[in-house]
Amino acid sequence: MGRAYQDSRGWRYRVMGGIHADSWKARYQKPGKRGDAGWKGLAAVPWRETREEAQADLDALAARKGWQEVAL
pTM: 0.91
Which of 8, 42, 44, 7 has the alpha carbon at shortest distance from 26?
A: 42
The domain containing residue 41 runs over which residues? 4-70
Model confidence at 43, in pLDDT bands (50, 70, 90)? very high
Average pLDDT, the chain: 94
Residue that wins the pLDDT comparison between 72 and 47: 47
CA geometry: angle 50, 55, 58, nearest 5 deg: 135
What does the pLDDT read at residue 58? 98
The total number of structural domains in the chain stands at 1
Whether the predicted pLDDT of 1 surpasses 80: no
User: Where is pLDDT greater, at 19 or 45?
Assistant: 45
